[in-house]
Structure 1
Amino acid sequence: MKRISKVMLASVSLLAFSPTALLAQTKADAASNDEQASAEEIVVTGTSRSRISLDTPLAVSQVSAGALARAGVSSQADILNTIPTIKADGGGGEVASNVFVKGLPSGGQYQFTPLMYDGITLLSSFGLNSSAYDVYARNDLGIQRLEFVRGGVSNLFGPGSVAGLINYISKTGTDKLEGTVQLEVAEGDRYRGDVALSGPLANNLYFSVAGFYRTDKGPLRTNLDTKGGQIRGNLEYRFADGSGSVKVLGQYINDQAQFYLPIPLNGTTRERLVGNDGASVESVQNNFSSSLGFRTPTGTFSSEIDEGVKTKGGFIGLTFDKDFGDSGWALNGKFKYSDYKHKFGLWSDGDGVINVPETLQSFLTNRGLGSLANASFTFVGGGAVPANYLLFANRITDRIRPATDFTGELNLTKKLATGGIDHAITLGGFHGRASAGDYNVTTTFLAEFNNTPRLVNLTVTNPLTNVQTVVSANGLLNAGAGYVNNRHKAERLAGYLADQMKIGDRFNFDIGARIERINGDVSRERTSTVVTDASTPNLSTALRDVIWGNGGFLTGKVETTEWALAAGALYKLTDRISVYANASRGFFFPELRSAGFRPLPAGTAANASLAPGMQSYTAEIIKQGEAGIKISQPGISATASFLYTRLDNRRQVLFVNDGAGGFTERVNLVGTESYGVEATLDLKLTNALRFSGNLTVQQAKYIAFDTTPANIGKKVERQPQVLYNAGLYYDDGRFDASIFTNYTGDNFTASANTIELKGWNVANLDLGYKVPLGESSVRLSLNVYNLFDTAAVTEGSPRQDNNQTANGAFFVGRPVLPRRITGRLTYSF
């Protein structure tokens, strides 16, 4: 409770918009302003009834376009961190945010929360590989707002997730031609140009388009650049009689972004270490792609790690909604096809054996290579490595992950009255068919411990026989340390039915159900260790032999069916105060990459192709409850609620070291339970100044853990007990200023609860000055991310998991990204 007493409460007032219905979007958009959604705005909760937030028995958060611009300077995670119950790690850079929600156990990414644009999920099935949803799309000036819907019948529709739906709503055209052009410059040689344009094309035909291009050396200098861009847009025809619309949506992306992994830190203070050159080590990455190639059974493999997280491709979609006169019937739907060529260049946080910096002699000793007197350490490119230098053996993984996806959703709605009850009924269905590759090659290298380090060669001589062994050649320590070639396909078929009822003037009741089936196809290539370089003399075994695919495949199919049920009720105590409660029983389908094969028959050849059958594949069951109060008074709006979540039969997938320098995707079967309270506050201090923020306090623990029963009762890793956001926002129409902070409380790095990371604040400052130019304007702004240059650690070493130890000379962890100053020039017309 001492922590709670230190927390400032605040929040953004809430607006609900279901990603499964567009019936009131235009009206809601017109009502909203750039900074704050009024509690009286129109909302849509997934059926045909539009309601204000005070009448909605669920929790919904909105982030406006202005707030997105302030918060989303560094990554998607910085935006999501402003939402109650979400903890997001953005230390990796712009993409692949690790998102944790409601105390649920997760290895990261978006395992419980689909990421959608305009109600269309970027990928219909998560877990075909381990890439996060946000590698497929970037935010731009074409975003109107972000909605996070949690609980209630809304979460049963479309792709479905009772844990929450993250949905970005795009701007659409109006009768007035409008546009924004923005130029951005930031420290670290970041340059970005954005444009957004919308307006009419013909009678009842409207367009909206947005795009950007940027180059960035990065907040951490690595010789690995971020560069590329995206274009998105929509073309909408609105029926002249006001009965609906048809919209075509599209996106094309060609972008690469660098991704930062944990680095060795001081084991006691967990501060950054000083490298061999006397400078603080911010990153151990460099452009090594031209040096770390090697022979394979099928040719020569050349790393493309310099391209980082690269995505090229896009989607095309169609949405529509149509009211059928006064009958009360309406129809709406969404369809999308996407095709992405995606690669994820993953830098690891150690070699999987030692994982921390080593002196030259300790490197030799740890690997049984004798004494320094019989070893030759040289830099690739020339020069001897000084005897007092530290080395760091590390790994890279080239991950090629193409993905295609088709999603379709169709909803039939009906409004009718029975006695004193007004009904809004939705009957709908969802179909998703996704396919993704997962081709990984892991390489181990040896380098000095520095920023932008140099690779190191090593040759050792046996003092008895004078025989030399090449341990590291061109920095390469282990050629082909790991190989994966998987293909996963998932087809989801769902149907749902809900009724949203208004009973009298003060009572609302929602109830809905969903039933869904998944069919999955699994294909995984088998591997063998092959001698690929028998001609080069004196190579170590790790350089001579390569783990590689042998052409044999294990294949199998999984399928299961599950159901979900949700209900919510709200009662208006007064016209400005409501109490509500909702409960749900839902499910998650286990990630296909976690599905296991049955043991192979004795004597099966190493390269045999067969279908041995699959191990058990059953859904993960989640049960939730929430009860709270909503208040909307002149100058103040607030909410408070109590949350309960229980998840059973969770297949927790962790990407961890295998102990021999490679990786394995370890699966734990766990159960968790969490309790929490959530509060939000928005307070108008003056006509131009407001205070806003939110607070989450939660307790999450394991109630089942098959591989390690001793973890039962321990806290769920990477889930803090306290989260809050608080900020002051000033805007007088000409000058605007805001200072806001996000606090992440203490949390454990792994399920054993042996290592705790201390909580941290990241503060941000945004200043702007607007110059009117007739009906247009120019805004000059300055944004400072991580204002006080907080250097806290956001995570330990996920690859080491429970094997990571505390209190040693080193600690591997990922620090918060450093302070970065960004300037913007924005012209709006």
Structure 2
Amino acid sequence: MKCSTKITLIAAAVTASISQSSIAQTAEEEASKPSSLDFEQIIVTGTSRPKEKIESTNAMTTFGEEKLERLAPYSVGELVRSIPGFHAEDTGGETGNNVAPRGFPLSTQTEFTALLRDGMTVFYNQDVLFSQNDRFTRLSNFIGNVEAIRGGASSIFVGSAPAGFINFLSREGGDDTEGDVFFETNSNNRLGAQAWVSGSINDQTVYAIGGWYRKGDSARDPGYTANQGGELNANVKYFFEDASGFTRFEFNKQNDKSFFFIPQPLTGSTTDAQTIPGGMDIRDGTTGNSAGARLLRLANTPSGDIDLDVTDGNFADVTYFGNTTEVELNDAWTFSNQVRYTDMLTTFTGIINVGNAESLSGKAQAIFDTNEQALADAVFGGELNYRVVDAGTGFELANNSNVDSFNTNGFGINAGFWHRRFEGDNLQNETKMRHIYEGFDEGTFYSTFGLFVSNINGHVTDYRINTLQSVEPLPQRLDIAFIDAEGNDIASGTYKGIQAGSHGFANIVYNESTIAPYADFEYEIDDLTLNLGARYETLRANGEAEDPGNYEISSFTTDSDAVNGNIILPFGAGTYRNFDVEYNELAWTVAANYIVNEDFAVFTRYADGFRMPDVDKYMAITDLSSQEEIDEFNRSERRETQPASTVMAELGFKYNSGDVAAFLTGYYAAADDLFFNVPTVVDNQVVQRQAFRNTETLGLEAEFNLQVTEGWSVGLSATYQDPEFVNTPAAEFINSDGNVDTVNINGNMPVRVPKHFGQLTSSYEFEDFAWGVASINATYSWSGKRYADDANTAELPFYGMLNLGFAIENEDGYYVRADVKNINNSEGLSEGDPRAGETVAGQSTTFNARVVLPRTFTVSVGKRF
């Protein structure tokens, strides 16, 4: 069925539902019930002035306190599942999740979508690989409201976020003292607490303070405390005596580490994924990060001592503070300024499979074939003789006589021990002048003139070291030691589990300065609102990237041998390449909203946006082979560092009458020159190949709420889209013979982007009884068929997850909440393995894939006051 036909059918079905339900409503009922999609809510995001949601020219989703409590999202990724148009892969854990908006494929985690805290990003360049925005923009009960913009004016109000942004609004104080504190535990040995309190200091000053802390094993217990840490938030707001404005001071401190789930080894196929016998269970097994392989220590390397521990996981130590001041200068002009300084250290330490599970006997044979002369004495009795030992203790786990039954499967896997450290600071300032002019015929003209500036100092270091792991519930790092006829060790094919193969290194220090003047205009006459906006952004980046050098292990260690001493690792060469680049981009948009009557409004918008390059693009300078290429880089002419450009067109309908509310948005979204550094594993080496993609998507987003009875409500958030590659040259990939081949991908679906996804919710609030007020709720989320590769050879099938919740609260504010996530214990695959072949997956009898998180029970006990 064609996309347009399906969109027409969906729209017709929703319209019919609206019509049938509205007939049954009386005028009295319509007047007494608020919109279940909060159309009457005053929104402050993506607009020149606060306004009711039904007046907005943006497609947007809002979350109030009650909705957030019922959803009880464990991560930003899970919350995003409630936003149409944004497809979330929330299988990374509490942080590190992926958000693909409106059919765009991702080369990083949240490439086209920004997260804001109280109107400003925590860190402006917020999609640095493995330091993405949900690492330092966290959910808690200190967040009182969330406003999400899809497309729309996003490119005007936030740079490099052309597909949308999500604004997390903190609680603020009022006249009365209010608060909430609760303690929680779950089936993963989680112990945690969250609390906030707000109130007034005097007649002109209010405050709010909150925080959270938790520790636990995570949904896939790695054998150590996986999640531990917390956050402290505070703000103080002072209102000027003449009621002309306010000044607000904020503070936030985060210190947290969280487990990051990566694709785990499985057997079967992506359409019939199964646990490898003796391996990590598909439902709740670990993904490579485990107590048996957690430490990697190398002394005296050319880049200094390396001491890595996977228990650090996704670590963030972030502090930010700032001020927002707003002053009404007169009846027409308002001045506001927001400034924020952030100091941030984030690290990612994890084990990422860079190959499929394979027999250890085959691995040993391959090492021997490469080092046949040095290991000649290991062949006797007609076979190759070796021991498989624990890389940390040297304890023998298997040998050539029984290795094929080791852990039942006899498998090992190439496991990349990856560590990235990002350290930096960011000063942001945004100044706005807003003007109201009411002498324009019978309408009102609203103007916003803004200037945004940002300065970032950053330092990124990368170590990617290829190790050998077992395939078992808690994997161990392995060494393969070859022995002679007397049982004496001849040499080891690995060093502390490190093997020849795919390794990487990066070290870059840089500065980014951004200046972006923008303007947004709204003309409102009667029920019509017209909007025009533009942003001109200049990015200047300079710094130095260290050249990598290749070093044999024997050059910096004294305990290597004739075989493992020859393994080559990359570290800093001590020489640097300087870069100084500049980019200038214009984003603009035009839109209109018309309120047909008090129940119905229609809007339309066209937007042209961009995504600026980031530090991962600047690193490309160390890959250039000639001075001419380096000069092209510094003239900002290299294609791999060019900004990505996007186009969006929208047509939306908002309807509310009595017990029915609907928000439908049809959209067209296109992106050009998307840059991908496509990894492919060949002979245990990750070979990076540059690729550029162009995409187009036609889609329909729907939000639909129905108040079935006084206590029972039903909601739907759904997206149907038809994403495809267009005007893209034949994609290169490395075939099984190690040769470069090509495949036509035009018309194919972009990687891991489904045609349909959504969430169905239902809640029921019981009548008051002696113990208080009780409610139950259910949420079913689904993702339709996707593909793990551009060639669409590896299908990721449809999956769905069901969550249930129950809450009871008495008149004194004491409450109990219970939630069950993924009660159906879905085994859906959210992604394949990007490192195994993103262009052509090339599946074998074993493969890697990331699986949705298993069933988890959570109980909270708290007091609201």
- TM-score (ref. length: structure 2): 0.86
Q: More displaced, 527-536 or 255-264?
A: 527-536
Q: Greater helix percent: which structure?
A: 2
Contact 1:100/1:108 (CA < 8 Å) preserved in 2? no
Which residue is 2:530 aligned to? Answer: 509
Give 2:454's match in structure 1, choosing from 428, 432, 457.
Answer: 432
The alignment status of 1:530 with 2:551, answered yes or no, reads: yes
- Residues of 2 paired with 1:597 and 1:291: CA distance? 29
Contact 2:636/2:642 (CA < 8 Å) preserved in 1? no
Q: More displaced, 659-668 or 570-579?
A: 659-668
- Residue pairs, 1:259-408, within 5 angstroms: 259-268=260-269, 269-275=272-278, 281-287=285-291, 288-290=293-295, 292-326=297-331, 328-350=332-354, 355-369=355-369, 373-380=384-391, 381=393, 382-385=395-398, 386-387=402-403, 388-389=405-406, 390=410, 391-408=412-429
Which residue is 1:419 aligned to? Answer: 441
Q: CA deviation at 1:543?
A: 6.1
Contact 1:446/1:476 (CA < 8 Å) preserved in 2? yes
Which residue is 2:670 aligned to? Answer: 646
Q: More displaced, 492-501 or 609-618?
A: 609-618
- Residues of 2 paired with 1:305 and 1:791: CA distance? 25
For 1:790, what is the secondary structure of its paired residue? coil
Contact 1:554/1:609 (CA < 8 Å) preserved in 2? no
Which residue is 1:622 aligned to? Answer: 646
Contact 1:271/1:791 (CA < 8 Å) preserved in 2? no
Q: State percent identity of aligned pairs.
A: 21
Contact 1:399/1:441 (CA < 8 Å) preserved in 2? yes
Which residue is 2:809 aligned to? Answer: 770
- Residues of 1 paired with 2:514 and 2:729: CA distance? 28
Which residue is 2:596 aligned to? Answer: 573
Q: CA deviation at 1:363?
A: 1.8
- Residue pairs, 1:243-262, within 5 angstroms: 243-262=244-263
Cα 1:7–1:344 shift into 2, 3 Å = farther
Give 2:704's match in structure 1, choosing from 681, 692, 711.
Answer: 681
The alignment status of 1:700 with 2:743, answered yes or no, reads: no
Amino acid at match of 2:548: T
Cα 1:412–1:615 shift into 2, 3 Å = same
- Residues of 1 paired with 2:171 and 2:601: CA distance? 31
Contact 1:152/1:567 (CA < 8 Å) preserved in 2? no
Which residue is 1:191 aligned to? Answer: 191
Cα 1:8–1:440 shift into 2, 3 Å = farther
Cα 1:442–1:266 shift into 2, 3 Å = same
- Residue pairs, 1:413-812, within 5 angstroms: 413-417=434-438, 418-461=440-483, 468-477=490-499, 481-503=503-525, 505-533=526-554, 535-536=558-559, 538-541=561-564, 545-595=568-618, 596-597=620-621, 615-616=637-638, 617-654=641-678, 656-657=679-680, 659=682, 661=684, 666-706=689-729, 708=731, 710-732=744-766, 734-773=773-812, 777-802=813-838, 805=841, 808-812=844-848
Which residue is 2:28 aligned to? Answer: none
Q: CA deviation at 1:207?
A: 0.7
The alignment status of 1:814 with 2:825, answered yes or no, reads: no
- Residues of 1 paired with 2:609 and 2:280: CA distance? 55
Amino acid at match of 2:251: G
- Residues of 2 paired with 1:424 and 1:441: CA distance? 51
Contact 1:60/1:147 (CA < 8 Å) preserved in 2? yes
- Residues of 2 paired with 1:90 and 1:158: CA distance? 24
- Residues of 2 paired with 1:349 and 1:519: CA distance? 36
Q: More displaced, 200-209 or 661-670?
A: 661-670
Q: CA deviation at 1:313?
A: 2.6
- Residues of 1 paired with 2:486 and 2:546: CA distance? 43
Cα 1:86–1:316 shift into 2, 3 Å = same
Amino acid at match of 1:79: L
The alignment status of 1:148 with 2:148, answered yes or no, reads: yes
Cα 1:577–1:452 shift into 2, 3 Å = same
Cα 1:383–1:129 shift into 2, 3 Å = closer
For 2:38, what is the secondary structure of its paired residue? coil
Q: Deviations over 1:27-81 (max 9, x none)?
A: xxxxxx9995522222335455333222222211012233334434432211011
- Residues of 1 paired with 2:138 and 2:326: CA distance? 26
Q: CA deviation at 1:463?
A: 8.3
Contact 1:99/1:110 (CA < 8 Å) preserved in 2? yes
- Residues of 2 paired with 1:153 and 1:279: CA distance? 42
For 1:362, what is the secondary structure of its paired residue? helix
- Residues of 1 paired with 2:281 and 2:106: CA distance? 38
RMSD: 3.1
Cα 1:400–1:543 shift into 2, 3 Å = farther
Q: CA deviation at 1:462?
A: 7.3
For 2:342, what is the secondary structure of its paired residue? strand
Cα 1:6–1:53 shift into 2, 3 Å = closer
Q: Deviations over 1:103-160 (max 9, x none)?
A: 1121241110111110110221245544211112322111012111123346412446
- Residues of 1 paired with 2:755 and 2:60: CA distance? 21
Q: CA deviation at 1:451?
A: 1.2
Contact 1:158/1:430 (CA < 8 Å) preserved in 2? no
Contact 1:440/1:484 (CA < 8 Å) preserved in 2? yes
Contact 1:213/1:230 (CA < 8 Å) preserved in 2? yes
Q: Which runs of 5+ in 2 are unaligned?
A: 16-32, 373-378, 732-742
- Residues of 1 paired with 2:359 and 2:419: CA distance? 28
Q: Deviations over 1:430-484 (max 9, x none)?
A: 1112233221112222232111123323112478999822113443335993221
Contact 1:291/1:475 (CA < 8 Å) preserved in 2? no
For 1:402, what is the secondary structure of its paired residue? strand
Which residue is 2:21 aligned to? Answer: none
For 2:648, what is the secondary structure of its paired residue? strand
Amino acid at match of 1:266: T
Contact 2:198/2:207 (CA < 8 Å) preserved in 1? yes
- Residues of 2 paired with 1:618 and 1:516: CA distance? 14
Q: CA deviation at 1:598?
A: 9.2
Q: CA deviation at 1:272?
A: 2.4
Amino acid at match of 2:491: T
Cα 1:455–1:465 shift into 2, 3 Å = closer
Cα 1:437–1:9 shift into 2, 3 Å = farther
- Residues of 1 paired with 2:258 and 2:858: CA distance? 18
Q: CA deviation at 1:545?
A: 3.8
Q: CA deviation at 1:165?
A: 1.2
Q: CA deviation at 1:559?
A: 0.9
- Residues of 2 paired with 1:302 and 1:402: CA distance? 17
- Residues of 1 paired with 2:822 and 2:134: CA distance? 22
- Residues of 2 paired with 1:319 and 1:755: CA distance? 50
Which residue is 2:22 aligned to? Answer: none
- Residue pairs, 1:45-194, within 5 angstroms: 46-153=46-153, 155-159=155-159, 161-194=161-194
- Residues of 2 paired with 1:719 and 1:646: CA distance? 14
Contact 1:701/1:715 (CA < 8 Å) preserved in 2? yes
Q: CA deviation at 1:532?
A: 4.3
Cα 1:665–1:522 shift into 2, 3 Å = farther
Q: More displaced, 662-671 or 389-398?
A: 662-671
Cα 1:597–1:510 shift into 2, 3 Å = same
For 1:583, what is the secondary structure of its paired residue? strand
Q: CA deviation at 1:499?
A: 1.2
